[in-house]
């Protein structure tokens, strides 16, 4: 068994915030959830806390999501998803647990 898991951040939320600042557009960022991950460039012995955020501006919202897999070699991914404010999903789950190889399914059941 190897431990080649990384947390890869593919979210564009920070780039959108930077553009909003450049354009002088008002926005609001809030934290939905946090989790510990092992980043692509982090020390493998140290876990890094990641914040999953919600960005609202104009009449739009961007929500971040983490897909965390049980397998020690399958990377975890952080992605961002853009919605019109009036179509923002009320049942948004910022953390999704997967088991891509089907080896740890019983451990994924949350009580």
Q: Are the C-beta atoms of residues 59 and 85 closer than 8 Å to each other? A: yes
Is 103 domain-assigned? no
Q: Given pLDDT bands bounded at 50, 70 and 90, which one contains residue 109?
A: very low
> What is the arithmetic mean of pLDDT over 55-66?
97
* Residue 105, domain member (yes or no): no
Quote the pLDDT of residue 108.
47
Give percent above pLDDT 90 in the chain. Answer: 58
The domain of 37 spans 7-98
The total of structural domains in the chain comes to: 1
**Range of lowest pLDDT (4-13, 58-67, 76-85):** 4-13
Residue 86 has a pLDDT of 98
Domain assignment of residue 69, yes or no: yes
Question: Mean pLDDT, to the nearest integer, of 30-35?
Answer: 96
Q: Is residue 107 part of a domain?
A: no
pTM: 0.83
**C-alpha–C-alpha distance, residues 62 and 109, integer Å:** 28
**The pLDDT of residue 58 is above 80:** yes
- The answer to whether residue 106 scores a pLDDT higher than 60 is no
Q: Does residue 56 lie within any of the structural domains?
A: yes
Residue 1 lies in a domain: no
């Amino acid at each position: 068994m190897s431990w080649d898991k990384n947390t890869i951040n593919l979210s564009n939320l920070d780039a959108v915030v930077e553009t909003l600042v450049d354009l002088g557009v008002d926005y609001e960022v809030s934290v939905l959830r946090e989790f510990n991950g092992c980043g692509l460039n982090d020390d493998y012995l140290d876990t890094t806390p990641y914040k999953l955020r919600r960005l609202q501006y104009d009449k739009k919202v961007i929500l971040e999501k983490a897909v965390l897999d049980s397998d020690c070699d399958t990377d975890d991914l952080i992605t961002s998803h853009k919605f019109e404010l009036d179509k923002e999903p009320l049942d948004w789950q910022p953390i999704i647990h997967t088991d891509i190889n089907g080896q740890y399914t019983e451990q994924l059941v949350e009580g």
